[in-house]
Chains A and B, each alone.
Chain A
């Protein structure tokens, strides 16, 4: 199975900050990577697919980059509604796997 390791696992930041979350794959996955946002008690929400394509309706302050084994999610200017847990997901190989999550909290 392909393992996805996110760093950091926990991030404390302030409104207006620029933050980055990294997702590293245990083997190359081309650009078959997505990013999701999950708030407590809610289903995950797709933000980015194919490593860098913004899902319809997602604010442009979210962006994704990378290919192969290293990927980055960037939030250019944190808004109050962005405090949540973020997951990466690969679909290059079965089984589809997710990273362990990065919890983003208000400083």
Chain B
């Protein structure tokens, strides 16, 4: 059974960089044709797709965030990561990592981690 677990600081100061890691267990991040993604959800709101990375390292980002986002993958450690720079209060949200199969149908999700942007 594949499991994903987000980790990283729960509090980030404005203008700084938000950094999160998603550790994958129960299977190799390199096996199969999957896209590994980040999705966020502000409190009481809907879901916003941030971007995705393939096992070969190819990335796609939401154009609304593209100038600030970097997603990377470390197959040796079975994890992938998110960096979001120059954060503001609008970036406060629960951040989910997820596995996309058959393209980007998200069949496995992490539990989510709340990141608050505040001084």
Interface residues of A (CB under 8 A from B): 1, 32, 34, 36, 42-46, 49-50, 55, 87, 89, 91, 94-101
Contacts of A34 in B (CB 8 A): 105-106
Contacts of B110 in A (CB 8 A): 43
Which one of B23-31, B42-50, B81-89 is at the interface?
A: B42-50
Contact A46 B47 (CB under 8 A): no
In the assembled complex, the Cα of A87 lies from the Cα of B48 at a distance in Å of 11
Residue B103 CB within 8 A of the other chain: yes
Minimum Cβ distance to chain A for residue B49 (Å):
4
Most B CB contacts (10 A, CB to CB) among A44, A55, A89, A95 go to A95
Contacts of A91 in B (CB 8 A): 103-105
* A1 nearest CB neighbor, chain B only: B63
Other-chain residue from A49, A87, A89, A99 in contact with B102 (beta carbon distance below 8 A): A49
Contacts of B98 in A (CB 8 A): 43
In the assembled complex, the Cα of A43 lies from the Cα of B39 at a distance in Å of 10
Contact B105 A49 (CB under 8 A): yes
* B103 nearest CB neighbor, chain A only: A91
Other-chain residue from B47, B60, B61, B107 in contact with A55 (beta carbon distance below 8 A): B107
Minimum Cβ distance to chain A for residue B2 (Å):
13
Contact A43 B62 (CB under 8 A): no
Minimum Cβ distance to chain A for residue B30 (Å):
22
Known: A44-B109, A91-B103. A98 touches B63 (CB 8 A): no
Contact A43 B46 (CB under 8 A): no
